[in-house]
Structure 1
Amino acid sequence: MKYRSVAAILPSEPIEMGQTMIKQPLPTVRVERIDPFLLLHHFGPYEVTPPFDPLDVGPHPHRGFEPVTFLYQGELRHKDSRGNEGILGSGDVQWMTAGRGIIHSERASRDFLEQGGVLEGVQLWINLPRKDKMVQPDYQNIKSADIPTVEVDGAKVRIKVVAGHFNGTKGPAQTRTELMALQVSIARTGFVQIPLPPGHNAFVYIVNGKVQLNDNWSYDKEHLIQFRLDGEGIALRAEADSEVLLLSGLPIGEPVAQWGPYVMNTQTEIMEAMRDYQMGKMGFYTEY
């Protein structure tokens, strides 16, 4: 396999979100987006001490893209203006299509706040093409038990196929663009080669641990490595027990206009989104 070369190495930068510090490797001054991926936030690991919720993201709107949450530790409660409510547990994935508009909140669940523990996850924003920006919102609460796992290198490597295909296994996430999302757990010395779909932009984010990439340089946790479109795939070898999130997607190639929680094609559409939210056209959120 001819390996893809590295286009950019993006360390996570700490940013404030409310009263909480999170880590953001994308976007940065160097790389605005990796089409169709717009943003990656790594929250935690936080030690949750009852009754304080370190995340507590209250009701807020979205339009024009898909916010996706990979929860690695802890428990989150999702609630939205379309009547969806769900508990996201360790290993679960929440795939939400904001479409024409939705208001939602993400907070530690009540049980988790009472018991305490560690909370950690990754949220990814995925763009939608123009034709899908105003579709009806959708919510997928994908349980860990429903995500197929492929074992490689004598089970030293365990790959959860969330979206797309890997090694003949299809992920359960329903996507509106051509995507692959893999959660790769690699025990120390484990090795895997991962083919990437032709034409897909791709990157890996090292959630924790340390991995050697393509039998070359090694990278520590909390780094995002973006690849060029010049090879068939990548190789990962763990120098410590590691968790790696691999994303690839067919680029949309359309203009992007973004303001806060809205991602559209033009500034006029952004203004329309702001107006529609104020007029209650994205639904009504009630806490209980």
Structure 2
Amino acid sequence: MTPEEVHPMPAITADDLTVLPRLTTPGLGDQPRPVWQVSTAPQGHEGEGFPVRRAFAGLDLAHLDPFIMMDQMGEVEYAPGEAKGTPWHPHRGFETVTYIIDGVFDHQDSHGGGGTITNGDTQWMTAGAGLLHIEAPPEWLVQSGGLFHGIQLWVNLPRDAKMIDPKYQDIRSGEVALLASSDAGALVRVIAGSIAGHSGPGSTFTPMTLVHTTLEPGARLELPWDVEFNALVYVLNGRGTVGTDAHPIHTGQTAVLGAGDYLTITADGSQESRSPKMDVIVVGGRPIREPLAWAGPFVMNTRSEVLQAYEDFQRGHFGHIPG
């Protein structure tokens, strides 16, 4: 693919939402999830210098379980020569989920896995017992510059799965389940898990759901959500409200929701011209409720397991960087 052929088309979209399966409005007795907390992501730089927002920074890990962290990478328009990735680095004990909304990312690991993900694709890497891994924009994108935007979510693995063999899921944008809100004003992309009986392609050790939704100005989304799962709502861009009591939320903010059968997101009637719609990631899963020892790229249950991971890494047990 040459740079001239690339047309920015954030994630996967549908021209006509009215032809998609519709979510029904909540039934009698369905409980809305209350808003417990809203936090604002600090901004920083990761790897060799690409801008990130740490979506869940400052939130109680008990509210995040089974997730560890999430980064919003970009949204950034790179000038020629500016685009950057990460150097080779190890992982053990969890899964990284990289979802590219706009742009192109190459990835490679010490087990021979890897590939290219672009607009709306997801690379789901189960690090398990451990591997080395690198993520970078392709050389032509570095030369030409261009738009880059995505998220990376870290999903914890339960104790009995932490040392499994590493594996990949390469999820293409066309495999994602597409739904519409009851008013057809919001597009719901189900990447993993299930919404109202419609399942996404991502397969997970820990039962969870990952959704990217785009709301037109003024649209209201009532999203059914598994009662056993926690629920986190992160705004990629735009502004609106979350919860039935209309708690304001905007770009770079995360809402932690309490228990219930469904959650409500409403986009403000007027959005800024830079992001004319509201884009939101909704993620939740069944809490693992095991001790957590997390240091850098290793997510284990005890401090001694983390120290063992560092030792194994230094001894070359995570494989070798391909020549």
Q: Same-fold call, TM > 0.5?
A: yes
**Number of the residue aligned with 1:269:** 305
For the residues of structure 2 that align with 1:46 and 1:193, how far apart are their CA atoms? Answer: 30
Write the deviation string for residues 28-57 of structure 1: whole angstroms up to 9, x where unpaired.
2x5235100111111111111222223x10
**Number of the residue aligned with 1:205:** 234
Structure showing the higher strand proportion among its residues: 1
**Number of the residue aligned with 1:80:** 109
**Number of the residue aligned with 1:251:** 287
Q: How many residues of Structure 1 are paired with residues of Structure 2 in the alignment?
A: 284
**How far did residue 154 of structure 1 move?**
5.0
Q: What letter is aligned with 1:10?
A: S
Secondary structure of the 1:58 match is coil
**Number of the residue aligned with 1:155:** 184
Task: Verify the 8 A CA contact 1:63 1:101 in the aligned structure 2.
Answer: yes
**TM-score, normalised relative to structure 1:** 0.94
**How far did residue 242 of structure 1 move?**
0.9
Task: Verify the 8 A CA contact 2:36 2:258 in the aligned structure 1.
Answer: yes
**How far did residue 21 of structure 1 move?**
3.4
Residue 224 of structure 2 corresponds to residue 188 of structure 1: no
Write the deviation string for residues 220-244 of structure 1: whole angstroms up to 9, x where unpaired.
1110101112x21111111131111
**How far did residue 207 of structure 1 move?**
0.4
For the residues of structure 2 that align with 1:145 and 1:161, how far apart are their CA atoms? Answer: 11
**Number of the residue aligned with 2:153:** 124
Task: Verify the 8 A CA contact 1:153 1:190 in the aligned structure 2.
Answer: no
Task: Verify the 8 A CA contact 1:258 1:270 in the aligned structure 2.
Answer: yes
**How far did residue 113 of structure 1 move?**
2.2
Q: What letter is aligned with 1:22?
A: V
Task: Verify the 8 A CA contact 2:190 2:210 in the aligned structure 1.
Answer: yes
Secondary structure of the 2:289 match is coil
Task: Verify the 8 A CA contact 1:24 1:41 in the aligned structure 2.
Answer: yes
**TM-score, normalised relative to structure 2:** 0.84
For the residues of structure 2 that align with 1:223 and 1:183, how far apart are their CA atoms? Answer: 15
For the residues of structure 1 that align with 2:77 and 2:150, how far apart are their CA atoms? Answer: 13
Secondary structure of the 1:57 match is coil
**Number of the residue aligned with 1:221:** 251
Write the deviation string for residues 64-95 of structure 1: whole angstroms up to 9, x where unpaired.
00111111111100111110121110111111
Task: Verify the 8 A CA contact 2:239 2:278 in the aligned structure 1.
Answer: yes
**How far did residue 61 of structure 1 move?**
0.1
Unpaired segments ≥5 residues, structure 1: none
Unpaired segments ≥5 residues, structure 2: 1-29, 272-276
Task: Verify the 8 A CA contact 1:71 1:93 in the aligned structure 2.
Answer: yes
Write the deviation string for residues 84-118 of structure 1: whole angstroms up to 9, x where unpaired.
12111011111110000011111112232233211
For the residues of structure 2 that align with 1:90 and 1:112, how far apart are their CA atoms? Answer: 14
